[in-house]
Structure 1
Amino acid sequence: MREGFEIEPAVKIRDLRKVYKVGSEKVIALNSIDMEIERGQICCLLGTSGSGKSTLLNIMAGLEKPTKGTVTVNGGKIESMSEKELAIFRQKNIGFIFQSYNLMGSLTALENVSLPLTFKGMSKGEREKKAEKLLEAVGLKKHIMHKPTQMSGGQQQRVGIARAFVGKPGIVFADEPTGNLDSKTTKEVMELMLNMAKKNNQTLVIVTHDPSIAEFADKVVYILDGDIEKIEEKNK
C-alpha cells in the first residue's frame, strides 16, 4: 500500500437523520448518526426493539431514503441514487440474510441459491454449479433438491446464507438472522456467516437485539432511541 493512501471504508455515514410522519406527529427514528465500517469488518448494530437499528440497516441497503445526511456503501452514494440505480447497485454489491429466511417456497434450495446469479449473465449450468458448491460448504449437500417446507429453520437459514454469499458481494446485511433459531443452531449459523465473510474479506453487518450475537463481531455499535450510545472496537 502506498504511504498516505487510505482505503475507503465499506460504509461511511455522515449526519444521518430519519424522521417519519405519523399523522400530525413527527417521529425521529435516527438522529444525526455518524459512523464508519471498515472493509472486511464484522459489525453488529445492537439495540432493543424500536431503537432504530433496522431503520439504519434499511437506509444503508437503500431500502429507505434518509431525511438528511449522506450514506456511502462500497463507494456508492446511496442517498442520491434512483430506485432503478439502487436495484442495480444492490444486485452487484449487496447480499441479504433475513430473520424469516425469505426463501421462494416453490423453488428448491439449489434454485433459491442460484437465483441471484441470474442477474450476472451466467449460464444455468454455471449458476447451479456455484450454488451446489456453496450449499455443500454450508452442510446441505443432501438437501439441494429440497424445498423450504422440507427443511428445518436452521437448514433454511443456511440456504439463506448461501444465497447471500453466492455472488460474492462486497457487503452482506443480516437482519436478526438468528431470531427464529435455538441457541445451538444460532452458534452454528453465526460461525458459518463469519467464516464465509472472513474467507472472502467481505463486510458483514448484523442487526440484533441479542448481546450474545455481538460477541462474534469486530465492532459493536450500540443504538438507543435513534442515537449511537457507544461504539466498541474489538480484535484490534
Structure 2
Amino acid sequence: MGQEKIVALDNINLEIEEGEICCLFGTSGSGKSTLLNMLAGLEKPTKGTIKIKNKRVDLLNESQLATFRQKHIGFVFQSYNLIPSLTALENVSLPLIFQGMPKAKREIRAKEMLKAVGLSKRMHHKPKEMSGGQQQRVSIARAFVNRPKILFADEPTGNLDTHTTIEVMDMIRDIARKYNQTLIIVSHDPEIADYANRIITIIDGNIHKIEVKNGEEREIIYERKE
C-alpha cells in the first residue's frame, strides 16, 4: 500500500489431512480469511507453495483454477451469495451445469441435497422468500451438490442466530463426515471452532497455537514462542 509493506501471512507452514475438520481461528485482521483465500486459489501468495492433491495451486492460471475448484472445492460464505432471480432448486443446480450434467440428473441431485438440508418444501422459493437460515441451507446444499473433496466455510454462521447456528454447523459437519470430505472453517467464534478436530489459532499472520480435540478435551500440540 504505497510505500508501506503489509504482511498478511508470515511463515505459515501447515498440512491439512484428507477428511479432517479444521478451523482457522482468530480475531478480525488476524489473516485467517486471507489464508483461506490462498488455500482456495482465490488469491495468490507473493512467496511460498500451496499444494492440494499434489497439485501446485499457486502456479495455476485463472482458467486452470476455475476447473480445479469446479472439480474439487465447495464454498459456504457468510453472505450466502445466492442468485436472487433463481429458485432454491436452480441455485443448487448451478454448479452441476458447469460440469456438463444433463438437466434431469441435475435436478435429481439438487433435490436430494435440498431434502438433506430440510428444504424439500422450499425448492421453488427464491432467496427473498426465505429466512436467513433457510438461505444458508440453500448455500450449503449448493456447496455440497457436486460432492467436492474440500469444503471451505468462511464465517458460515455470522449472520445467523444461536439456534440456527447450531443447526447449520451440525448439518455441515454431518454431511462432510458422511462423504469423508475435508472441511476448513474460518471463524472468530470459539463455539464454531469447537466443531473442528484441529483448531489453528492465527495472530498477526502467524500460527500462534494448534489444538487437537480428543473427546471433549483439547490438547495443545504447538504454541509459538515469541
TM-score bucket of the superposed structures, by smaller chain: over 0.9
Decide which of 58, 65, 74 is 1:95's aligned counterpart: 74
- Aligned residue in 1 for 2:28: 49
The aligned amino acid for 2:175 is M
Q: How does 1:30-109 map to 2 (within 5 A)?
A: 30-109=9-88
Decide which of 130, 137, 155 is 1:176's aligned counterpart: 155
For normalisation by structure 2, the TM-score amounts to 0.94
Decide which of 102, 122, 128 is 1:143's aligned counterpart: 122
Q: How does 1:114-153 map to 2 (within 5 A)?
A: 114-153=93-132
User: 1:111-154: per-residue Cα shift (whole Å, max 9, x none)?
Assistant: 00010001222110100110001101100000000000000000
- Aligned residue in 2 for 1:8: none
User: 1:45-82: per-residue Cα shift (whole Å, max 9, x none)?
Assistant: 00000000000000000000001111112332111111
* 8 Å contact kept, 1:74–1:170: no
The aligned amino acid for 2:153 is A
The aligned amino acid for 1:40 is G
Percent identity at matched positions?
A: 63
Give the Cα separation in 2 of the matches to 1:209 and 1:48: 5
Give the Cα separation in 2 of the matches to 1:54 and 1:76: 22
Aligned residue-pair number: 215
Higher RCO, 1 vs 2 (CA within 8 Å, ≥6 residues apart): 2
* 8 Å contact kept, 1:74–1:93: no
Asked if residue 220 in structure 1 is aligned to residue 215 in structure 2, the reply is no
Asked if residue 230 in structure 1 is aligned to residue 209 in structure 2, the reply is yes
Give the Cα separation in 2 of the matches to 1:106 and 1:75: 38
For normalisation by structure 1, the TM-score amounts to 0.90
- Aligned residue in 1 for 2:220: none
Q: Which runs of 5+ in 1 are unaligned?
A: 1-21
Q: Which runs of 5+ in 2 are unaligned?
A: 216-226
Please report how far the alpha carbon of residue 235 of structure 1 lies from its aligned counterpart in structure 2 after TM superposition: 3.7
Q: Secondary structure at the match of 1:57?
A: helix
Decide which of 158, 183, 199 is 2:137's aligned counterpart: 158
Please report how far the alpha carbon of residue 234 of structure 1 lies from its aligned counterpart in structure 2 after TM superposition: 1.7
Give the Cα separation in 1 of the matches to 2:139 and 2:14: 28
- Aligned residue in 1 for 2:218: none
* 8 Å contact kept, 1:103–1:160: yes
Q: Secondary structure at the match of 1:216?
A: coil
Give the Cα separation in 2 of the matches to 1:23 and 1:179: 32
Asked if residue 25 in structure 1 is aligned to residue 7 in structure 2, the reply is no
Please report how far the alpha carbon of residue 96 of structure 1 lies from its aligned counterpart in structure 2 after TM superposition: 0.3
Q: Secondary structure at the match of 1:25?
A: coil
Give the Cα separation in 2 of the matches to 1:178 and 1:100: 9
Give the Cα separation in 1 of the matches to 2:25 and 2:53: 22
Give the Cα separation in 1 of the matches to 2:63 and 2:41: 11
